[in-house]
Amino acid sequence: MLDFLSAIFAIIFNLSTLDAAVRLSTPLLLAALAGLFSERSGIFDIGLEGKMLAAAFAAGAAAGVTGSAWLGLAAGVVISIALALVHGFASITARGNQIVSGVAINFFAAGLTVLLGQAWFHQGGRTPQLGPGARFGEVDLPGADVLKDVPVIGDIYNHLVSGHNILVYAAFLAVPFSWWVLYRTRFGLRLRAVGENPAAVDTAGISVAWLRYRAVICTGILCGLAGTYLSIAQSAGFNRDMTAGRGFIALAALIFAKWKPVPAMFACLLFGMLDAVAIRLQGQAIPGVGVVPVQFFQALPYILTVILLAGFIGKAIPPKAGGVAYVKERT
Amino acid sequence: MRTITRLLVVAAMLSAFVAPAAWGAGGDVGEPAIVYSVGGKFDGSFNESAFAGVTRFKEETGSGVREFEIARDAQSLQALRSFAGHAYAPVVAIGFNQAGAVEQAAAEFPDARFAIVDMVVDAPNVASYVFKEQEGAYIAGVLAAMATKSGTIGFVGGMDIPIIRRFLCGYRQGAASVSGDVKVIANMAGDTPAAFVDPARGAELARSQIDSGADVIIQAAGGTGIGVLQAASDAGILGIGTDSNQNGLHPGRVLTSIRKRVDNAVYDSFMAVREGRFEPGIRVLGLADGGMDWVLDDNNADLVTPHMKAAADAAVAAISQGQIKVHDVVADGPCPLE
């Protein structure tokens, strides 16, 4: 048993594992925060995956053509917002089924990215390979060199904190920012209210539709960052279906975090950590246990979420008005 | 405006569905036809290699070739039926995912001649071309073990399926033939087809192997492998490409590419019908028959020393002549080197 624990700890408290966990959790975190804004305003969004994919494609294509990572980022965010507005139109104005609309966006993005990619670049749906200038490279934070020789802190600062790309920092800064917006601003108060009791917000003379539209725009921006991270920061180009289910893991993280920003960060870090550990454990025997199938770690995020939903780890209560279109008056 | 755009997109998608059915019977009977796999003929990998075979055939014979690119597996059967119904010969399907469709079409059109590449379909009118991936992987293992300075080499596979395991086993065997001390770190990207399309995951797997000391990493992971080669190049170590020539992706950072000569298989199937020597059955192409090879070009000329080239050439000769038998996980059971 002791062997087992020490083996696990050796893997977990290893700077390269922690570093990998940060990289792997970044797209999940951005997508989970994206879902947070939408769902707290009462719009369920299972189209996170599709928006990320479309953004990844747009970013890869724009960066490939222009050679600028920033233009790629802009394209990714714009496309993602456009899709978010389509979802918004379907669920807010047209009062359609939010789940159906989300699924439609996922399919739309999966098909259209390959179709356009093939038509424009003739590489089987891939976008051109990006050079260094067209990607977000690793940024060394100030002082990383100076602190290099300080034991422990220097190592942690150098490897874990410094040396990521700019979108990683954006993702982790978005957590306190989202908290501040949701809990300390008038907009956030109203946004949360509209997800719980839209009628009350409406009675106060505030437009439910306009608030929800603004919420889905926030979702679009964050999904755009998540997709851009995948194609032009973590990789060097877009590949078909490259989101590979991350939008759904992000949703699981959001539920796991009970629709709160800071817990969402910890949930995403946990899921990223599981992934990083799974990579390092693959094919390695753990003392006392033997070889753990990788599938076990890959399924863990979902297993944990199901256990949570079954009520074993507290209770996850979704926003009360989530999934229900707001009808002002009966006609 | 948005409605019009949307209609156009829908129309474009629909046309992809109905195109094969809509072609009239005007085609020259007896010309070959080919159905590419998902990814299309410019995928820079498997399908593009098939396309190279088509191009060579067209140039040499002046004959036309009917082509179809499927966007999803479900379209395959429709395309095969249409080609077979209009008496194209042979009708060639690329990729293991078309096996079911070929089997069905072959039963429906007993007089038509089919060929499938990278999978076996047991029918009286189908020629199946498969490759000895393990032999190509052996050469990669030899070169990787000679190029490594750290004594640790890596392998990133796509979906955990027998043909990828077979590739891994050949790689291990090749490395072990150079030195028993070379350590091989192996990772599979996943258990679903998504494991072939996730470059971010490929890059992450490669980084973890680099952290563990690997300084040469081979990818056998399709689109995921693009991320592996990228991570290797970013970290200043060497990658090894597969399926098509990937040396040019990161010049000077790709040690070599292990090619699967899909082009030769396609060319051979076309020529066989043209020359009236078409025969159903299984053809297994290895190093000896030009079905697999390794690439040495301007992009990697500086990486492969004369000593390494000699060793690789010697291994190719020994395998071709049967002096070295590379273990086949699919036929011979689990890899002896785990």
> Is residue B202 located within the same domain as residue B254?
yes
Q: What does the H/E/C string look like for chain A?
A: CHHHHHHHHHHHCCHHHHHHHHHHHHHHHHHHHHHHHHHHCCCCCCCHHHHHHHHHHHHHHHHHHHCCHHHHHHHHHHHHHHHHHHHHHHHHHCCCCHHHHHHHHHHHHHHHHHHHHHHHHCCCCCCCCCCHHHCCCEECCCCCCHHHHCCCHHHHHHHHHCCEEHHHHHHHHHHHHHHHHHHHCHHHHHHHHHHHCHHHHHHCCCCHHHHHHHHHHHHHHHHHHHHHHHHHHHCCCCCCCCCCCHHHHHHHHHHHCCCCHHHHHHHHHHHHHHHHHHHHHCCCEECCCEECCHHHHHHHHHHHHHHHHCCCCCCCCCCCCCCCCCCCCCC
In chain A, which stretches have pLDDT less than 70? 1-2, 283, 330-331
- How many Å lie between the alpha carbon of B260 and the closest alpha carbon of chain A? 18
pLDDT on residue A307: 82
> What distance separates the 2 farthest-apart alpha carbons in chain A?
72
Report pTM: 0.81
> Is residue B205 located within the same domain as residue B159?
yes
Total domains in the fold of chain B: 2
A287 touches chain B (CB under 8 A): no
Asked if residue B9 has pLDDT above 60, the reply is: no
In a domain, B13, yes or no: no
**Nearest CA among B190, B206, B227, B106 for reference residue B153:** B206
Nearest neighbour of A244 by CB, restricted to B42, B194, B207: B194
A125·B40 Cβ contact <8 A? yes
| Whether A249 contacts A33, CB under 8 Å | no
Residues B41-53 pLDDT 10s: 777 677 888 999 9
> Is residue B231 located within the same domain as residue B310?
yes
- How many Å lie between the alpha carbon of B275 and the closest alpha carbon of chain A? 33
Asked if residue B22 has pLDDT above 60, the reply is: no
> Is residue B173 located within the same domain as residue B141?
yes
B43·A242 Cβ contact <8 A? no
In a domain, B291, yes or no: no
A235·B204 Cβ contact <8 A? no
> Is residue B140 located within the same domain as residue B66?
no
Nearest neighbour of B200 by CB, restricted to A122, A235, A294: A235
Closest alpha carbon within chain B to A138: B234
Please report, as a single letter, which amino acid is at residue B86: H
Could you tell me which residues come within 8 angstroms of residue A71 by beta carbon, excluding any fewer than 6 positions away?
A62, A63
Closest alpha carbon within chain A to B38: A124
The mean pLDDT value of chain B amounts to: 87
Q: With contacts defined as CB-CB under 8 Å, which chain B residues touch A234?
A: 200, 203-204, 227
**Residue with more model confidence, B21 or B6:** B6
> Is residue B232 located within the same domain as residue B168?
yes
> Is residue B188 located within the same domain as residue B320?
yes
| Whether A181 contacts A192, CB under 8 Å | no
Nearest neighbour of A242 by CB, restricted to B190, B197, B207: B197
> Is residue B186 located within the same domain as residue B324?
yes
Residue B127 bridge partners (DSSP):
B115, B281
Residues B274-283 pLDDT 10s: 999 999 999 9
| Whether B120 contacts B330, CB under 8 Å | no
Please compute, for residue A237, the number of CA atoms within 13 A of its CA located in the half-sphere on the CB side: 26
Handedness of CA B308, B312, B317, B322 (dihedral sign): positive
Q: Which of A126, A135, A243, A302 to mutate to test the interface with B (most CBs of B within 10 A)?
A: A126
> Is residue B143 located within the same domain as residue B123?
no
A23·B204 Cβ contact <8 A? yes
**For the domain that residue B139 is a member of, what is the CATH number?**
3.40.50.2300
Nearest neighbour of B223 by CB, restricted to A24, A111, A239: A239
Q: With contacts defined as CB-CB under 8 Å, which chain A residues touch B2?
A: none
> What proportion of chain B, given as a percentage, has pLDDT over 70?
91
Q: With contacts defined as CB-CB under 8 Å, which chain B residues touch A122?
A: 40, 42
Tell me how many residue pairs between chain A and chain B have CB atoms under 8 A apart: 96
B203·A235 Cβ contact <8 A? yes
Asked if residue B27 has pLDDT above 50, the reply is: no
> Is residue B43 located within the same domain as residue B120?
yes
Q: With contacts defined as CB-CB under 8 Å, which chain B residues touch A111?
A: 13, 71
A53 touches chain B (CB under 8 A): no
In a domain, B71, yes or no: yes
Its domain, for residue B78, covers: 19-131+263-285
Residues B201-230 pLDDT 10s: 899 999 999 988 999 999 998 888 989 999
In a domain, B54, yes or no: yes
> Is residue B211 located within the same domain as residue B119?
no
The residue length of chain B stands at: 338
- How many Å lie between the alpha carbon of A23 and the closest alpha carbon of chain B? 9
Nearest neighbour of B200 by CB, restricted to A234, A282, A298: A234
B203·A295 Cβ contact <8 A? no
Q: With contacts defined as CB-CB under 8 Å, which chain A residues touch B13?
A: 111, 115
- How many Å lie between the alpha carbon of A95 and the closest alpha carbon of chain B? 19
| Whether A257 contacts A267, CB under 8 Å | yes
In a domain, B174, yes or no: yes
In a domain, B295, yes or no: no
Q: Which of A155, A228, A242 to mutate to test the interface with B (most CBs of B within 10 A)?
A: A242
Query: Around Cβ A169, how many Cβ atoms within 10 Å?
Result: 14
- How many Å lie between the alpha carbon of A44 and the closest alpha carbon of chain B? 24
> Is residue B328 located within the same domain as residue B196?
yes
In a domain, B201, yes or no: yes
Asked if residue B15 has pLDDT above 70, the reply is: no
Residues B260-276 pLDDT 10s: 999 999 999 999 999 99
A235·B226 Cβ contact <8 A? yes
pLDDT band at B4 (very low <50, low <70, confident <90, very high): low
pLDDT on residue B176: 95
In a domain, B296, yes or no: no
